[in-house]
Structure 1
Amino acid sequence: MSLVTSPEFIRRIESIVGSAGLVQDPERMHSYLVDWRNAYTGNAALIVRPANTEQVAAVVRLCHEANVALVPQGGNTGLCGGSIPDATGQQVVLSLTRMTRIREIDPANATITVEAGVILQQLQQAASEAGRLFPLSLGAEGSCTVGGNLATNAGGTAVLRYGNMRELTLGIEVVLPDGRIWNGLRGLRKDNTGYDLKHLFIGSEGTLGIITAAVLKLFPATHSMATAWVALPSPEAAIELISHIRGVCADRLTGFEMMSRQSLEFVLSHVAGCRDPLTSEQPWYALIELRDTISDAPLTELLETCLSHAFEQGLVIDAVIASNDSQAAALWGLREGISEAQNHEGPSLKHDISVPVSQIPAFIERTDKALQARFPGVRIVSYGHIGDGNLHYNISKPVGADDVAFKANELAIMDIIYQKTGEFNGSISAEHGLGQSKPAAAVRFKDPLEIELMRAIKRTLDPTGLMNPGKVFAAEQ
């Protein structure tokens, strides 16, 4: 019997979190051990669910003393397996889903302080009830948690205007690998007193410590909106169009999503209730959203003016502007349904890259050409937050191809995509993180000095390598 499954260790864990905070039944454990896509599966000795920061700290101290590895987990909605334990059954999954308190809303300081287990949608609702806006928005917002959003530096559809989680966070509370609690919950816009330590933990995927709470920025609520679905001749047209709209609308431009026809075809085929907003098929589309804090802002007229100019310039082939909230939601449904729809076409190889906005057309052209030359017939699903250079570049098998044979080419396909990403000075992971799917690729495609510095930070904060081992780094050093 290993220490982690010994009656004494389990008794000590239960004395900290109580019976409600301990999951040992295999049937109840299952949902914590498999990611939502069934792409990653692990095993664990225990699922521990602390109810507050002090309990988290006590569990971490106990595991540190016993040399037991911990895998922090929030809503388990990640795409890279970052919250799934390994197959040994010797790790403890530490779920933060019981930590759901909204500790404080400070309208004058425009901040909200929440615990790591708060679901993003609940955070958005709390902000709305206070007459404010928390702008982070993504497809999993009904189940992902603030802790996971912070651990992966989540982005989403409103990054163009508001930034990702780094920009939205003023302070955090962290349990360190030895169980000490760093209280960095400061709602300050200015604090020039040395290193800004919160940025070490945001995006670290639980490998340096466990974020238990955060002070987040709030914004004025928006009261008017205009949404358009636009057909484009090319990605180059999308880049010119977004530049034009930004010049006219400034920060009213909240969202600008680009997607290929192949992306839309999958949604129309597999997502119930969806229909093509336009009468003819075009190679590329953009979903554009303007928002304003003024309730009667003339956003539709402004968007019509921008698109009229774009028609004259040959940047837009066709367009439709939503006339009500229901129509706008239907347009967003086309964009948000892409990832799930692609799963119905068999195994898909998903890549979350970023390159400078100006280089997106060249990246798509060269990478498409290289893939089709090496793997004829693969179906390329390109879509993403074009305004910040983040492209989801996903590959589905050729029609009628064998699943196993297609999956056997995963590394070769990845190499082509990441090599092209590097040629444009881009990143192999824009917002999904590295998890357990990309550590080896990070070593190959990041600057060796960057990797050396990252490992030095890891060794300093977690010298025994017990915090989410095997994530971000292929092997703890």
Structure 2
Amino acid sequence: MSDEAPLLDTLRSICGDAAVLTGGDMAAYATDWRDMFHGKPLCVVRPAETAEVAQCVAACAETGTAIVPQGGNTGLAGGATPDDSGTQVIVALDRMTAIRRIDPVGMTIEVEAGAILQTVKDAAGDENRLLPISLAAEGSARIGGLIATNAGGVDVLRYGMTRGLVLGLEVVLPDGQILSRLRHLRKDNAGYDLKQLFIGTEGTLGIVTAAVLRLVPQPRHRATALIAVPDIASAIALYARAQDEVGEALSAFELISGAGLDLVAEHMGQTAPVTADWVLLIEAGSSLPSLREAAEKLLETAFEEGWATDGVLAESEAQADALWQLRESLTEAEGKAGGAIKHDISVPITGIAAFLQEAGNMLRAVAPEAKFNVFGHLGDGNLHYNVMNVTREDAAKVNAAVHDVVAAHHGSISAEHGLGQYRVAEWARLASQPEHDLTRRIKDALDPDGLINPGKVVPKRG
């Protein structure tokens, strides 16, 4: 009998034999979505309820076994992938999918961490409410992972990051204790806001097992436009005017490069109705019937001021969905074209034009053959600055060059995807010593043995 057998037996006794996977059954859990990181776990355990998660964590703590929490395994930074030591246990929450409670008047929903985002959104929609988290992976991403990574998406401009939608959490701590603060409250200043310790920390301080999320009214009207702009300065000027003309109804203001649309046309067979070096995809939603008139006025202003050279305003839901399909196809088209070195960066909005100019100049010196697929959420300063046609030998230089320009602009090297293991070394290189010290102190306080998702977010010791 191997040394691991007693722990496996314990986990089976907690969750049942069928819920503990070994050998080839672990393959789908041991590799990240981008196929960049490949691990070799001891096993995958799939608890069905919070009590089982707590017992599994306690059993691993007792044996000094590291744990890697995993939701939908749709992350882009390797944060849910184990190492190749063969000693780590993946705790997968994909069986914990219950929607426990919906309150359409208080506009809250309580769900388990394994619930799929689209399923939760559908349940809210049945009550004429909206959970305003929108991203390409919403058909497979799970609530616990979205909270652990503080997921962004295309609705951040109006509704904020996932952090702003979390009212309460249930979390299993590294020693197996259950912290239950599932409060359906908008106001709660009684002591430290402990849930913030677990939002955006990528499962390195505890495992989220359930959450109370804030809902918003379901918009009745939608206006979607695709607009060609002559340059980034015009795009930013149009964004400023959109805030004045459309105001709080503005939910998405996306920037797409012409090169990206070319990839979509070549590899996905989808042709945009407008073409330019830079294109904006703008959407607003409201319960008020005057939305379309406001959108039409904004487009008229854009043409009058020279901020737009071409554009279309969707005449139907189908046309709006088709415009969004162009945006959602960018990543898949990029993959079919050979992939890219991905950067999930944010800089102050008014500095985007200068950032793009400086980053482009630097990369042309570092990797002259590089091509770019730049797109993202212009309205909140978050760009996916992806560099294609780069050799493996030049990848590290390209990565560092982009991040150096980001740092010079007082930006972030991880706007919404997280550090995981993909960016943790770059964070360690660029973060200040006080940031390092405080991060380590928090990690050591909650997880003194370093057993919860080691090597992610917080650099390994020595």
Is TM > 0.5 for Structure 1 vs Structure 2?
yes
Unaligned ranges ≥5, structure 2: none
Aligned partners of 2:389 and 2:303: how far apart in 1? 35
Alignment partner, residue 424 of structure 2: 439
1:230 paired with 2:215, answer no
Aligned partners of 2:18 and 2:200: how far apart in 1? 30
Is contact 1:384-1:390 (8 Å) kept?
yes
Q: Specify the code of the residue in structure 2 equivalent to 1:287.
A: L
Q: Specify the code of the residue in structure 2 equivalent to 1:391.
A: L
Aligned partners of 1:205 and 1:37: how far apart in 2? 17
Alignment partner, residue 22 of structure 1: 20
1:471 paired with 2:456, answer yes
1:358 paired with 2:354, answer no
Alignment partner, residue 300 of structure 1: 292
Alignment partner, residue 173 of structure 1: 170
Alignment partner, residue 317 of structure 1: 309
Decide which of 125, 150, 154 is 1:153's aligned counterpart.
Answer: 150
Q: CA deviation at 1:156?
A: 0.3
Aligned partners of 2:197 and 2:434: how far apart in 1? 17
Taking only aligned residues, the RMSD between alpha carbons, in angstroms, comes to: 1.2
1:276 paired with 2:268, answer no
Alignment partner, residue 434 of structure 2: 449
Is contact 2:366-2:397 (8 Å) kept?
no
State the Cα deviation string for residues 348-383 of structure 1 (Å, max 9, x = none).
100000111111111111101111122113111111
Q: CA deviation at 1:65?
A: 0.2
Alignment of 1:53-132 (within 5 A): 53-132=50-129
Point out the more displaced range, 90-99 or 337-346: 337-346
State the Cα deviation string for residues 150-195 of structure 1 (Å, max 9, x = none).
0100010000000111101111110000000000111211111222
Q: CA deviation at 1:234?
A: 1.1
Decide which of 381, 388, 397 is 1:396's aligned counterpart.
Answer: 388
Alignment partner, residue 366 of structure 2: 374
Aligned partners of 1:392 and 1:357: how far apart in 2? 14
Aligned partners of 1:338 and 1:366: how far apart in 2? 24
Alignment partner, residue 408 of structure 2: 423
State the Cα deviation string for residues 316-365 of structure 1 (Å, max 9, x = none).
01000111111111100111111111111224100000111111111111
Point out the more displaced range, 341-350 or 169-178: 341-350
Superposition misfits of 4+ residues, deviation over 4 angstroms: none
Is contact 1:440-1:473 (8 Å) kept?
no
**3-state SS of paired residue (2:109):** strand
Q: CA deviation at 1:476?
A: 4.4
**3-state SS of paired residue (1:84):** coil
TM-score in terms of structure 2 length: 0.98
Decide which of 129, 132, 136 is 1:135's aligned counterpart.
Answer: 132
Aligned partners of 1:139 and 1:263: how far apart in 2? 16
Decide which of 191, 199, 202 is 2:196's aligned counterpart.
Answer: 199
Is contact 2:68-2:80 (8 Å) kept?
yes
Aligned partners of 2:432 and 2:410: how far apart in 1? 11
Aligned partners of 2:278 and 2:164: how far apart in 1? 30
Aligned partners of 1:99 and 1:448: how far apart in 2? 39
**3-state SS of paired residue (1:305):** helix
Count matched residues.
Answer: 462
1:164 paired with 2:149, answer no
Alignment partner, residue 258 of structure 1: 255
Unaligned ranges ≥5, structure 1: 399-405
Alignment partner, residue 45 of structure 2: 48
Aligned partners of 2:2 and 2:75: how far apart in 1? 30
Is contact 1:73-1:83 (8 Å) kept?
yes
Aligned partners of 2:291 and 2:260: how far apart in 1? 28
Is contact 1:136-1:156 (8 Å) kept?
yes
Is contact 1:469-1:476 (8 Å) kept?
no
TM-score in terms of structure 1 length: 0.95
Aligned partners of 1:347 and 1:227: how far apart in 2? 29
Q: Specify the code of the residue in structure 1 equivalent to 2:311.
A: A
Alignment partner, residue 403 of structure 1: none
Q: Percent identity?
A: 47
Is contact 2:21-2:44 (8 Å) kept?
yes
State the Cα deviation string for residues 420-457 of structure 1 (Å, max 9, x = none).
00111000000010111111111111122112101100
Alignment partner, residue 286 of structure 1: 280
Is contact 2:102-2:109 (8 Å) kept?
yes
Q: CA deviation at 1:418?
A: 0.6
Point out the more displaced range, 56-65 or 431-440: 431-440
